[in-house]
Amino acid sequence: MTGDEGLVRLCAAYDDRLGEARRRKAAGSRLVAYFLNSIPVELIVAAGLDPIRLVGDPARHAPIADRYMEEYMDGEVRSIFGSILTGEFDFADLLVIPRSSEVYLQLYYFLREMPEWEPEAKTPATYLFDLLQSPHWLTARYDAGRMRAFAEHLAALSGRVITENALRDAIKLLNCLRGALQKAAQLWRGERPALDGIDALKVIGAASILSPREALAAIEAMLADPPGPLGNTGPRVMLKGSPQNDIHVTRLIVEAGGTVVAQDHVAGDPTFRALINEEGNPWEALATHYQRHIPGPRVHPQSEQDAHFLALVRQANVDGVIFFHDEWDDTLGWEYPDQRKLLDSENIPSLFMKRQPYFDVPAAEQRAAIGDFVATVTRETVR
């Protein structure tokens, strides 16, 4: 596989996530679909099942979802809920929903109610993975128990008990994938970026769409045979805040002349920040990783998260930061005043785009705000 072919494969998977899922299903895979970045994929792999991460899509807004779910729920969750009810995720042998975000927990409970209200809807079997992320030893013990319970559930589905060796192998494989992404990050964060922000987002996203082995092969091909540097690049921008599971905002920044060098959200660069400890007990290492080293809205203390944020700003040599928060955000806004102060202390300009709708986006307003910001940062950078 050439580097170009690797990139094409990754982008194609990103662009047609559901098509990719259906192809694998048709080829005989037993698909375990999941949301967010807090499901231990290692267990799915160790059980001999095929993991795929699903997301919402602003273009998929099924009216049936609005019949039951409040408008204040994250747009992405409403989109997912609608997709499940209308059978768009029917390829999944199991849908795993993490507790690492309140709205996803709600999604789980809403789905549990649906047989009563929508008996015709063919929703896949669901499983709640009750991951807690408070930074305590007691929580680690709780999570270890939940890991074991999830492993048993997967083993029952696959007919294969998860052995310690199988788990170690899966951890190694997923660590290789994270390590490959860390190296690949130089292609968008480096001094002379070779991938624009859109392709970067697709590469990061595709790593959890393709099977881990295929994603690893494609990224390694790209690393062995990297694309050349981009032509003229504009100011280096970080996109931060609510999950960006589609390229809309990134594209607006690129079109405004910005170079997106970092994505600081749960679908961006932090997804491959940390590797799982391969020494010692793999169950404990797995639980610790997902409890302490996976970004998410419930993770604390905030000072630790802000230190990661600032480190990424520096690593990527960021000229400006765009904070982009979902319309119904009730969480990230609490962090913003302190994060803004951190940037001010480093003389890094920022733009706060609060309460942005998921569906029916005000693209013209967004384009204007981003355009003005990129132009301002460009002037500052030149100066």
Q: In terms of CB distance, is 175 or 350 closer to other proteins?
A: 350
Q: Binding residue for other proteins (CB under 8 A) from 90, 102, 118, 169?
A: 102
* 61 touches other proteins by CB under 8 A: no
Please state the length of the chain.
383
Q: Binding residue for other proteins (CB under 8 A) from 105, 217, 230, 375?
A: 105
* 72 touches other proteins by CB under 8 A: yes
Residues numbered 351 to 380 that lie near other proteins (CB under 8 A) are: 352, 354-355
Closest CA to 273 of 37, 89, 76: 37
Residue 40, classed as helix, strand or coil, is: coil
Q: In terms of CB distance, is 278 or 338 closer to other proteins?
A: 338
Q: In terms of CB distance, is 70 or 346 closer to other proteins?
A: 70
Residue 103 CB, shortest distance to other proteins, in Å, is: 8
* 349 touches other proteins by CB under 8 A: no
CB 379 within 8 A of CB 260: no
Q: In terms of CB distance, is 126 or 315 closer to other proteins?
A: 126
Q: For residue 115, what are the contacts with CB-CB under 8 A and spacing of at least 6?
A: none
Q: Binding residue for other proteins (CB under 8 A) from 8, 12, 121, 132?
A: 132
Through-space distance between the first and last CA atoms of the chain, rounded to whole angstroms? 43
* 118 touches other proteins by CB under 8 A: no
Span from 20-28, 131-139, 199-207, 267-275 in contact with other proteins (CB under 8 A):
131-139
* 63 touches other proteins by CB under 8 A: no
Q: Distance between CA atoms of 154 and 43, rounded to whole angstroms?
A: 8
Residues numbered 25 to 54 that lie near other proteins (CB under 8 A) are: none
Residues numbered 148 to 207 that lie near other proteins (CB under 8 A) are: 149
CB 205 within 8 A of CB 245: yes
Q: In terms of CB distance, is 101 or 259 closer to other proteins?
A: 101
Q: Distance between CA atoms of 258 and 133, rounded to whole angstroms?
A: 35
Residue 303 CB, shortest distance to other proteins, in Å, is: 8
Residue 68 CB, shortest distance to other proteins, in Å, is: 6
| C-alpha dist (Å) from residue 140 to 78, 134, 277 | 31, 9, 15
* 4 touches other proteins by CB under 8 A: no
Residue with tokens 């997804």: 271
Q: Is the peptide bond before 301 cis (omega within 30 degrees of 0)?
A: yes
Residue 344 CB, shortest distance to other proteins, in Å, is: 11
Rg (CA), the chain: 20
CB 130 within 8 A of CB 70: no
Q: Binding residue for other proteins (CB under 8 A) from 290, 324, 328, 358?
A: 328
* 338 touches other proteins by CB under 8 A: yes
Helix, strand, coil percentages, rounded to 5, for the chain: 55, 10, 35
Residue 206, classed as helix, strand or coil, is: helix
275-311 as b/e: b if 16+ CB within 10 A: bbbeeeebbebbbbbbbbbbbbbebeeeeebeebbbe
Span from 17-25, 78-86, 137-145, 157-165 in contact with other proteins (CB under 8 A):
137-145
* 112 touches other proteins by CB under 8 A: yes
Q: In terms of CB distance, is 125 or 224 closer to other proteins?
A: 125
Q: Binding residue for other proteins (CB under 8 A) from 8, 15, 142, 308?
A: 142
Residues numbered 249 to 308 that lie near other proteins (CB under 8 A) are: 297-298, 300-303
CA angle 235, 236, 239 (to 5 degrees): 120
DSSP E strand boundaries for the chain: 31-34, 50-53, 94-98, 126-129, 236-241, 259-264, 320-326, 350-356
Span from 17-25, 96-104, 200-208, 240-248 in contact with other proteins (CB under 8 A):
96-104
Residue numbers of the site for other proteins (CB under 8 A)?
67-70, 72-73, 99, 101-102, 105-106, 108-110, 112-113, 117, 128, 130, 132-134, 136, 138-139, 142, 145, 149, 297-298, 300-303, 325, 327-331, 333-338, 340, 352, 354-355
